[in-house]
Amino acid sequence: MIYNQWYVILESKELKKQKPLRVKRFGEELSLWRDYTGNACCIADKCCHRGVSLSCGSVVNGKLECPFHGFLYDKTGRVTTIPANGKNSPVPEIMKVKSYRTFEDYGFIWIWWGDEEKINEPPFFFKELQEFSYSTFKDDWNIHYSRAIENQLDVVHLPFVHKTTIGRGNKTLVNGPVVKRENELITFYVNNIVDDGKTIPLKPDEIKDYKSLFYLQFYYPNIWQNFISDKIRVFAAFVPVDDENTVIYIRYYQKLIKIPLLKQLMNYIGKIVSVVILRQDKRVVVTQLPKKSGMKIGEHLIMGDKPIIEYRKHRQELIQNNEIPSHNAENSE
């Protein structure tokens, strides 16, 4: 995983009031709950007293109470009360677990996976989506999140994996694609055509009118959107669980229809279509080896893989520029 980043880790509605939640992210077991103002809190899911899972406990006055001996944790991971020692006794400094800064908006919860002092701004989101309504589908994939992301940057697979859906028409010849990266935002333009047997694909710099083409965007470390039209988007968040597992949140966004029941119906249909397409991807992508992508993994890439090449290159730069402290080194990619 890339260190020092905000990662979408959960949908807001999954974290209920008064009910702690255990999730695995970045190979770590985490415990989340909402404090009395409703803010999402996130700490390591292992009590520093005798190691039980804190998420089996309860929320008491906005804090998380361990189910075993009732130690109370605040959102910074510090124990504030040890009942057996009496409310009046001070709590030793060492009584604490790791905590994570959270951010919540757009129906998602992010956590900062990195050094606290490196946080300089809230996470990026495709803000225009605020005007859209949406439906969500959540899916577990047995593959590293980098592979799941690369699949959504892959313009070559469309006529094969999605023959019966979005890849209809046998457009196997891939012009370009044109790939533009501005800091952490990659935009890539798709120009696939039917192969007449005589044409050689255009190189990216030979496509002059690329801005009129269909395009998609990825923002590091883990969100993506597909511009179906001005009023319809498909969004995805690729949430790292561990080195071999990812949770994918797919959202169908639209602002074509605003009438309540019709809107729900359209969002539901949009979701079902997205699920069908995603399942076509999943069947193939989870078979990829190695399960984690990287710069030197023995693959022979082609011109059409340009968005994937750009993703790998910049991912590598971000990993190198954000060194993980040694106690976290097992999650180095």
Query: Which listed option, Fe ion, ligand FES, none, makes contact with residue 308 (CB within 5 to 8 Å by class)?
Result: none
CB nearer to ligand FES: give 62 or 67. 67
Task: Quote the least distance from Cβ 224 to Fe ion, whole Å.
Answer: 11
| DSSP 8-class letter at 194 | -
Nearer to ligand FES, 68 or 124 (CB): 68
Q: Which is nearer to Fe ion, 226 or 267 (CB)?
A: 226
CB 45 to ligand FES: min, Å: 11
Least distance CB 264 / ligand FES (angstroms):
43
User: Which does residue 50 touch among ligand FES, Fe ion, none (CB within 5 to 8 A, set by kind)?
Assistant: ligand FES
Pairing between strand 185-193 and 40-44? unpaired
Whole-number minimum distance, CB 328 to ligand FES, in Å? 23
CA dist 56 and 19 (Å) reads 9
Nearest to 78 by CA among 115, 107, 48, 119: 48
- Return residues touching ligand FES (CB under 6 A): 47, 49-50, 52, 66, 68-69, 71
CA distance 195 to 170: 8
Q: Say how many residues make up the chain.
A: 333
66 binds, among Fe ion, ligand FES, none (CB under 5 to 8 A by kind): ligand FES
Rounded to a whole number of angstroms, the minimum distance from the CB of residue 52 to ligand FES is: 5
Partner from ligand FES, Fe ion, none binding residue 68, C-beta < 5-8 Å depending on class: ligand FES
Q: Which two tokens stand for residue 167?
A: 């890849």
Give me the least distance between CB of 242 and ligand FES, in Å please: 24
Dist CA 94 CA 80 (whole Å): 11
Nearer to ligand FES, 82 or 155 (CB): 82
Residue with tokens 């990659």: 186
**What's the rounded Cα separation, in Å, for the pair 137 and 248?**
8
Task: Give the span between the Cα atoms of 224 and 18, in whole angstroms.
Answer: 32
C-alpha distances in Å from residue 39, one per residue of 74, 109, 117, 157? 12, 10, 21, 41
> Both tokens of residue 93?
């400094």
Q: Which is nearer to ligand FES, 31 or 151 (CB)?
A: 31
Q: Choose the one of Fe ion, ligand FES, none that binds residue 263, judging by a C-beta under 5 to 8 angstroms depending on kind.
A: none
**Residues 6 or more apart whose Cβ sits within 8 Å of residue 18:** 34, 58, 59
Residue ranges binding Fe ion (CB under 5 A)? 281
- In the list ligand FES, Fe ion, none, the entry touching 281 (Cβ below 5 to 8 angstroms by class) is Fe ion
